[in-house]
Amino acid sequence: MSRRLVVSLVAAVLAVLAGGAWLWFGRDLPRPAALRAEPTSALYALVDSRQADAAPVTVAEIFTPGTQTIGGMTRTAVEELTDCDDALWGTSAPGCTQALRATYRGPAVAGQFVIFNLPDGRAADALVAALREDGFVRQTTPFDATRSRAEVRALGHYVTVSWLGTLTAERGTDLVQPLIALDALGNAIQTRVLAAT
């Protein structure tokens, strides 16, 4: 075999491997088709820093027995992460000490709720901005991300992410009501605000 042919074959193999690596590692992970993101507001001023609101959130506080079934979906898993970046791709959450995550599934939709415990409202707003542009939470339950909606909110020094998508190819699946129910899990932070008054 001539040297020129060997070099050409090696170059072709390397090009195929590079293309495969780009397809495997370089693709963006799923993002919601529709995303609404909100910075924190004065309503959460009493829990604007971990210093003022030191107790960590708990699974029992956020995912109560009354939230086992919401919006026609049933909770299928709950986990607590001490490395918040395990719940993210394309961005990070500096200073985050915990993330609680739950997945829900119904006949036509599935979704997940994640709450991040950050140092203060500025860090929470920065994560909201990053989730809007740079990356997102890792999808932990299968649904069609191309037909999904998400709400991302900073609530004082917390960030909540509610993300829901369809399970079927049917057009017209209602995502609004189940997303409202999923997003209501963040109301547990309002209880902390009331306790701080």
Residues 109-123 as b/e (b if ≥16 CB within 10 A, e otherwise) read bbbbbbbbbbbbbeb
**CA-to-CA dists, residue 61 to 64, 189, 191, angstroms:** 6, 9, 10
Cα–Cα distance between 180 and 158 in angstroms, integer? 18
- β-strand partners of 164: 111, 149
Cα–Cα distance between 84 and 91 in angstroms, integer? 11
User: What is the predicted pLDDT for the residue at 121?
Assistant: 98
Reported as type and span, the H/E element at residue 89 is strand 88-89
Per-residue pLDDT of the chain (197 residues; tens, 9 = 90+): 667 665 555 545 554 454 444 334 444 689 999 999 999 999 999 999 999 999 999 999 999 999 999 999 999 999 999 999 999 999 999 999 999 999 999 999 999 999 999 999 999 999 999 999 989 999 999 999 999 999 999 999 999 999 999 998 778 889 999 999 999 999 999 999 999 88
Q: Where are the domains of the chain?
A: 1-30, 31-196
Q: Which residue carries 């170059």 as its tokens?
A: 11
Start-end of H helices in 59-168: 59-62, 121-133
Q: Name the CATH topology of 31-196.
A: Protein Transport Mog1p; Chain A (3.40.1000)
Give the closest residue to 90 by CA, choosing from 177, 3, 29: 29
Start-end of H helices in the chain: 3-25, 59-62, 121-133, 176-183, 188-196
- For residues 40 and 48, the answer to whether their CB atoms sit within 8 Å is yes
User: What is the predicted pLDDT for the residue at 173?
Assistant: 87
User: What is the predicted pLDDT for the residue at 21?
Assistant: 41
Q: Which residue carries 């829901």 as its tokens?
A: 164
CA angle (162 as vertex; 130, 133 as ends), nearest 5: 20
